[in-house]
A and B are shown apart, each in its own frame.
Chain A
Amino acid sequence: MATIHLNQVEKKFGDQFAVKPLDMTIHDGEFIVLLGPSGCGKTTTLRMISGLEAVTSGQILFGERDVTWLHPSERDIAFVFQFFALYSHLTARENIAFPLQAQGESRDMVKKRVNEVAKMLNIEHVLNSRPGSLSGGDQQRVALARALVRRPAAFLMDEPLGALDAEFRDTMRAEIKRLHIDQHATTVYVTHDQIEAMAMGDRIVVMSNAVVQQAATPTDVYHNPANIFVARFIGSPGMNLIPARYQGGVLYFDGGSVYTVPDDWKSTLAADLGSDGRVIVGFRPEAAQVSSEGQLVAKTYANDLHGGYTMLHLELDKDQIVHIRTNRETSYNIGDLVHFDVNPTMVRFFHPETEMALTKRDNRS
């Protein structure tokens, strides 16, 4: 196992940055997730760590070893692809054995290890089948087994669950995480699905437009997003982000709602706000409750059942939709006016221009 260091690692295509200079440390045994929308640089970063992509500048270290210019096969990593990349003319067993045979291991050793990982992943019964006849989930298990069999320094996974049906995805997610708890292998995992990131990661590195937006634990990234992008990207749906004007202890929202601010908030809001006291108010759908005494009011845009709960979508103003999580029985018609309130400890504030989170300030200046 290894600690992976990225020092000012950068990737440019011509004049365009695919990854802006990036510093990152992945601790030994950590499960780190690179999360972001398509094109944000997460896959490029993973490929640079693997050696499938050359850095344009910077340094990559595995432990003490400088691997920046080493061929992928010399880095002692295993790569798991989204589309399995299994050899269709070989059986599952032969696929899994392949990396070990390429390394020149003895037949007995190969057989032993293959059976070991097959047991770990519950695929003993498909070992003699060809990938073409297996389900997506089983194929990905074989791909994982093939990666595991070598016991490399690090596992690199590129959206491995993306090609699976929803039900397989959930099962495989839990399996991969349980595997990690057992094996404690350094894993770098790339995905665009924030639910996967939250469920699996010890730490999440949120990226957008070639830049790291925040690198923190799931709890931190969820409850204390560093900026508007993270606030919106994490959570399903993301955080409600409403522009408002703050003056004299009162928040004035577009659309008419007025909110008297509790004392707790005053120190945060004493920070530099946008011009004219503008600020972005953020709260997650579960932080709001429908309440007839609520200070905030909006018009129903849509509401839908999510199974165990209902999501209420309210139109605070044109193009400003607020999402509120309520109990299942709630149902309103389009156009109904709804009053709601927010849990004060779960509200966050952001600067309207820099888009950074405003933090609580001491009273000392």
Chain B
Amino acid sequence: MSNIRLEKVTKRFKDITALNDISLSIKDGEFFVLLGPTGAGKTTTLRVIAGLERQDAGSVIFDDTPVDKLMPAERDTAFVFQQYSLYPNMSVYDNLAFPLRSPMRQTPEPEIRTRVTEAAEKLRITHLLQRKTAKLSGGEMQRVSIGRAIVRKPRIFLMDEPLSNLDAKLRESLRVELKHLQKTQNSTTLFVTHDQIEALTMADRIAVLDDGEILQVGTPHDIYDRPATTVVAQLVGTPRINLLDAHIEDGALRVKNSTVQMPLPNGNTMPETLLLGIRPEDIRLGQGGEFAGKVILTEPLGVETIVHIRAGEQIFLSSVPGTAPYGVDTDIHFDVARDRLHFFRPDGVRALS
């Protein structure tokens, strides 16, 4: 296993800049997640590291040695694709053995057998070894894909949204399994996804990527509690963070188009107009609440209920544990947890306070 570094890497496709001068550092044994919306440049980053794309500027470094001149085969990385990663004409066993049978490696057959059975056991697909891949379910296929990466014991695992094509339930169980696997194997992994739950639950550290630029790097706690920009704040957390236009007036913070206002928090380094971020779990409903509004929608999810409230012309989303006894069009009062507010400048960057 290795530590990987990207130094000032830029990649352009015709007139689109997919990656703009990005630098990243992934530690040995770390589960590092690259999170961002579609088109952010996450897959391009993986491909540059694997050697499937050549960058226009900057360097890729494995363990302090630049690998820019090496072919994909020589870099010793394992790639798990989102789909189309299994060879349809071969059995599961042959798919798992394929990397080891490459002329470059020339592993003897008995060793191939041991390594393949070992990987199959870890991923609980031993009973599928003789089946043709075309006859597998989506979850089983992804397990085999991951198995193909594991047999090789590479320096780093590069995973490109491997769970995105699976049913919600399958995704949940594979997530936990993958994380446990990674922790027990101590394998350096770079995992790409647009699903923030995957990022939060699996990562040791997360890098948020948007439009070819890195917005923030940090632990899941960092990203969730102290998002550096409004894009990051909106990307993590379900339901999405409430992001409201606000301004300072008469020493108080006023939310636009609404009756919600509160005294200025400590420290006066607040811009005149700003964006106020409040996470739904930090809006508490109750009779004694400070602010008033009307319920326009409830979404009961069982474990919690998402209540959509209109206060003035603004809509606030609040997340309430369990069932909420509010019907549509009821009047309601709510409070805001003052110590858990997020303040952003109008350009989207976090305002330090």
A interacts with B: yes
Q: List which A304-320 residues lie within 8 A (CB) of chain B.
A: 304-308, 311, 313
Q: Are A166 and B180 in contact (CB under 8 A)?
A: no
Query: Does B57 have its Cβ within 8 Å of any Cβ on chain A?
Result: no
**What total of chain B residues lie within 8 Å of the partner, measured CB to CB?**
47
**A219 on the B face (CB < 8 A):** yes
* A194 beta carbon closer than 8 Å to chain B: yes
**Main SS of the interface on chain B?**
mixed
Q: How long is the Cα–Cα vector from A334 to B179 in the complex, in angstroms?
A: 12
**Contact pattern, B 182-205, Cβ under 8 Å of A = 1, otherwise 0:** 011000000000111100111000
Question: Are A177 and B299 in contact, CB atoms less than 8 angstroms apart?
Answer: yes
Partner pick for A192 among B168, B237, B296, CB 8 A cutoff: B168
Given contacts A37-B169, A167-B37, A302-B180, contact A307 B236 (CB under 8 A): yes
* A174, A219, A223, A302: the one within 8 Å of B179 (CB): A302
Chain A residues lying within 8 Å of B167, measured Cβ to Cβ, are 37-38, 192
Give 1 or 0 for each of A226-269: 1 = CB within 8 Å of chain B CB. 00000001111110000000000000000000000000000000
| Residues in A182-230 with C-beta less than 8 Å from chain B | 192-195, 198-200, 218-219, 222-223
Which of the listed residues A200, A305, A325 has the most CB atoms from chain B within 10 Å of its own CB? A305
A308 near B197: Cβ-Cβ < 8 Å? no
Residue of A nearest to B168 (CB): A193
Select the residue from A167, A219, A301 with max chain B CB neighbours within 10 A: A167
- Asked whether A181 is an interface residue with its Cβ less than 8 Å from the other chain, the reply is yes
Pick from B200, B201, B297, B303: contact of A178, CB below 8 A: B297
Instruction: Report if A165 contacts B (CB, 8 A).
Output: yes
The answer to whether B236 and A301 have CB atoms under 8 Å apart is no
Instruction: Decide: A165 and B306 in contact? CB cutoff 8 A.
Output: no
- B172 interfacial contact with A, CB 8 Å: yes
Least distance between A257 CB and chain B CB atoms (Å): 21
Q: How far is the CA of A218 from the CA of B197 in the complex (A)?
A: 23
- Cβ-closest chain A residue relative to B202: A304
Question: Number of contacting residues on A, CB 8 A?
Answer: 44
* Residue in chain B with minimal CB distance to A199: B299
Indicate if B240 sits at the interface (CB-CB under 8 A).
yes
State whether A219 touches B303 (Cβ < 8 A). Answer: no
Taken together as a complex, chains A and B put the C-alpha atoms of A193 and B168 apart, in Å, by 6
| Complex CA–CA separation, A181 to B295 (angstroms) | 13
Closest 8 A/B residue pairs (Cβ)? A304-B201, A222-B302, A199-B299, A308-B281, A305-B220, A307-B237, A193-B168, A198-B301
Q: Kindly list 12 other residue pairs between chains A and B, CB separation below 8 angstroms, not including A194-B168, A234-B302, A284-B302.
A: A38-B137, A166-B194, A170-B240, A174-B308, A192-B167, A219-B323, A222-B302, A233-B169, A301-B180, A306-B201, A311-B201, A334-B184
**Chain B interface residues toward A at CB < 8 A:** 37-38, 137-138, 167-169, 172-173, 176, 179-180, 183-184, 194-197, 200-202, 220-221, 224, 234-240, 279, 281, 296-297, 299-303, 306, 308, 319, 321-323, 328
Q: Which residues does A use to contact B, with CB under 8 Å?
A: 37-38, 165-167, 170, 173-174, 177-178, 181, 192-195, 198-200, 218-219, 222-223, 233-238, 284-286, 301-302, 304-308, 311, 313, 321, 325, 328, 334
